[in-house]
């Protein structure tokens, strides 16, 4: 039997589109979105309003014609960021948010923040203007176990920042722990994105039976009890939790390596997989909130005006195992089970 679910066109509140050949190869896979928050961790990073405007133009040029995707740009916060530039870029509609990477926490984060006191004037300006701060929430202290870095970040960095900057709107990006979920639920002016892959894999998927580089991302997937907390949060209907795929393409050569880099490429199949997760949780009626309503509300935007349909069919949905980008291949995230949800664009 076919089941059809019609929902507002989804948005993605955490997306890596990269640049040059990779941008050209991956952008069409996100063309069905309404809006996407575009991450600024290019090499070199997108630091100024002018750089964000130029990057937005490169993204628009890489998209097929007549697509709906509206890229919402972000600035990469550095210790040298000028509050006036952030405010001007926001006032001109160039940026929707600012991204905080603790220096060294993840891919291309070397220019991130080491001393959080040095960005206080920017954060205060953002709080005053209502500009959200998107946070990669992991400490980089080598003494902290990698599986504890999100929980420790909340106590050592995030809570002090939020106390010192009342009114600052914060998105805890790609939350991966029950601690993160509980923290988001405990406060005001805070939301969280949850990725599709963290809804379906736990740390065993990365390590049991051999090292699976295509399941390695940051924050690293945690134990099963945390995955269950993420599924509960995503499917609960709580508007503080919304989709951020963190689709993060890397060449297979860079992932299948003695020191493989972090990131899962989920743009081609994240929505189909999300429908599966919500179906399994008996929460299909809450899928639209998670993919299409809660994030827009957090960012003060209306839902997209148009709709798509998700149709459950007996035959599994298909997507390529890998795509090519320039001379490289990029492996598409494999959920490890058949997914029967297919997308139909109603636009
Ligand atoms: N999530 C990842 O594992 N990687 C992201 C960076 C990030 O979002 O932390 C990337 O840019 O590759
Ligand atoms: Zn991150
Ligand atoms: Zn990311």
CB–CB of 286/236 below 8 Å? yes
Could you tell me what percentage of the chain is helix, strand and coil, using 3-state DSSP and rounding each to the nearest 5? 35, 20, 45
Q: Give the CA radius of gyration of the chain.
A: 19
pLDDT tens profile 272-322: 999 999 999 999 999 999 999 999 999 999 999 999 999 999 999 999 999
- CA–CA separation, 5 and 309 (whole Å): 5
pLDDT tens profile 218-235: 999 999 999 999 999 999
Both structure tokens of 103: 């220096």
DSSP 8-state symbol, 18:
-
Q: Are strands 70-76 and 95-100 parallel, antiparallel or unpaired?
A: parallel
List, in sequence order, every residue forming a beta bridge with 99; answer none if it has no partner.
Answer: 76, 134
- CB 246 near ligand 1, within 6 Å: yes
Tokens 């969280």 sit at which residue?
Answer: 192
Which residue, judged by its Cα, is nearest atom 2 of ligand 1? 263
Interhelix angle for 120-129 vs 83-91, to 10°? 20
- CA–CA separation, 347 and 345 (whole Å): 6
**Which helix (H) or strand (E) segment is 342 a member of?**
strand 341-345
Q: What is the pLDDT of residue 92?
A: 98
DSSP 8-state symbol, 48:
S
- Report the length, in residues, of the chain: 347
The pTM for the full model equals 0.98
Å from CA of 342 to ligand 1 middle = 27
Å from CA of 3 to ligand 2 middle = 35
What does the mean pLDDT of the chain come to? 97
Neighbours of ion ligand 3 (CB under 5 A): 246
- Binned at pLDDT 50, 70 and 90, residue 176 comes out as very high
Å from CA of 248 to ligand 3 middle = 6
| Catalytic residue ranges | 246
- CA–CA separation, 277 and 272 (whole Å): 9
Both structure tokens of 342: 């297919």
As annotated, the binding site for Zn(2+) includes 14, 16, 99, 136, 174, 246
Q: Which fold has domain 3-345?
A: TIM Barrel (3.20.20)
pLDDT tens profile 119-159: 999 999 999 999 999 999 999 999 999 999 999 999 999 99
Q: Mean pLDDT, to the nearest integer, of 185-191?
A: 96
Q: Is the ipTM above a cut-off of 0.90?
A: yes
């Amino acid at each position: 039997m076919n089941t059809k679910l019609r929902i507002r066109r989804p948005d993605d509140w955490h997306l890596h589109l990269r640049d040059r050949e990779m941008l050209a190869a991956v952008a069409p896979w996100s063309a069905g979105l309404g809006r996407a928050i575009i991450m600024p961790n290019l090499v070199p990073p997108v630091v100024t309003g002018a750089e964000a405007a130029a990057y937005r133009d490169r993204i628009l040029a890489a998209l097929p014609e007549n697509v709906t995707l509206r890229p919402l740009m972000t600035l990469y916060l550095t210790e040298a960021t000028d509050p006036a530039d952030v405010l001007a870029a926001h006032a001109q509609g160039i940026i929707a948010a600012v991204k905080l990477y603790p220096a060294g926490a993840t891919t291309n984060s070397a220019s991130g923040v080491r001393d959080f006191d040095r960005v206080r004037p920017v954060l205060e300006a953002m709080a005053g203007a209502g500009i959200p701060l998107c946070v990669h929430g992991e400490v980089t202290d080598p003494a902290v176990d990698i599986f504890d870095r999100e929980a420790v970040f909340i106590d050592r960095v995030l809570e002090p920042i939020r106390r010192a900057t009342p009114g600052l709107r914060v998105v805890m990006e790609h939350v991966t722990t029950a601690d993160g979920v509980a923290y988001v639920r405990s406060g005001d002016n805070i939301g969280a994105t949850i990725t599709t892959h963290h809804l379906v894999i736990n740390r065993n998927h990365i390590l049991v039976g051999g090292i699976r580089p295509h399941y390695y991302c940051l924050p690293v997937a945690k134990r099963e009890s945390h995955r269950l907390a993420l599924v509960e949060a995503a499917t609960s209907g709580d508007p503080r939790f919304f989709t951020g795929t963190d689709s993060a393409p890397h060449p297979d050569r860079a992932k299948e390596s003695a020191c493989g880099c972090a990131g899962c490429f989920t743009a081609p199949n994240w929505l189909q997989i999300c429908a599966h997760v919500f179906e399994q949780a008996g929460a299909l009626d809450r899928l639209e909130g998670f993919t299409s309503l809660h994030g827009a509300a957090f960012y003060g935007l209306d839902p997209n005006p148009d709709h798509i349909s998700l149709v459950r069919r007996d035959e599994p949905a298909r997507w390529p195992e890998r795509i090519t980008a320039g001379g490289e291949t990029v492996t598409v995230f494999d959920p490890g089970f058949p997914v029967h949800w297919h997308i139909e664009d109603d636009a």
